[in-house]
Amino acid sequence: MSSHDYVIICDISECFSGNDRPRTTHTEPNHMSSAIAIILHLLAINIWVGGTFFSVVVLRHAVLHLEAEQQTRLMQWLLPRFFFWVWIAILVLLGSGGWMVYQTFGGLGTSPLYILVMLGFGVTMMLNFTLIFFEPYQHYKKAIAQHDINEAQRQLAMIGNLSKINMVLGICVVVAIGLGPHVFT
């Protein structure tokens, strides 16, 4: 390979940390495309993890002050809207993350450990969300249609418990983004 087959780029976390150490990659990325991929990736993380944090830490406790019927009515309106944005975030994360892994590192096999750690947490979140969406959420919608408030409340509790797991995993992703290049290199 000739020297022009490698390009020097700066990892986003290294740029913010003031680390001038360049990283080499096997492909020459379009820097604007890389910036757009990073921005989309970070926006999707913020929407999903921030929304989950809000739901678990703030909304869940505020809803407890409502009567069971009011709780289910509010969540019946809120959940489909939030879940729509989570599905969008998942698609954006898969697309932008995959693009960055192959453009920046030449694939999973040559990616740094912190990228693989982030990927592991992210895929676990996606699997957990898929479980939330296709199990307790579907049962919740069925209970609402049958006017079974007790079952709807039980399913909401299950959604809340599984969402706590995703909140912790999401925080782990953010920590991996910040610490990764400095700890897992």
Q: Determine the pLDDT at residue 181.
A: 81
Name the band, by pLDDT with cuts 50, 70 and 90, for residue 32. Answer: confident
Q: Please indicate, yes or no, if residue 54 is contained in any of the structural domains.
A: yes
Q: Determine the pLDDT at residue 28.
A: 54
Q: Please indicate, yes or no, if residue 66 is contained in any of the structural domains.
A: yes
Q: Please indicate, yes or no, if residue 9 is contained in any of the structural domains.
A: no
Q: Please indicate, yes or no, if residue 127 is contained in any of the structural domains.
A: yes
Domain total in the chain:
1
Name the band, by pLDDT with cuts 50, 70 and 90, for residue 34. Answer: confident
What is d(CA 172, CA 181) in angstroms, rounded to the nearest whole number?
Answer: 14
Percent of the chain with pLDDT over 70: 83
Name the β-bridge partners of 8.
Answer: 24
Q: Is there a contact between 96 and 58 (Cβ–Cβ < 8 Å)?
A: no
Element of type H or E holding 114: helix 113-134
Contacts of 115 (CB under 8 A, 6+ apart): 101, 105, 180
Q: Please indicate, yes or no, if residue 100 is contained in any of the structural domains.
A: yes
Q: Of 48, 16, 42, nearest to 181 (Cα)?
A: 16
Cut 0.85: pTM above it: no
Work out the average pLDDT over 15-28.
47
Domain extent at residue 161: 31-183
What is d(CA 153, CA 84) in angstroms, rounded to the nearest whole number?
Answer: 21
Q: Please indicate, yes or no, if residue 16 is contained in any of the structural domains.
A: no
Amino acid at 38: I
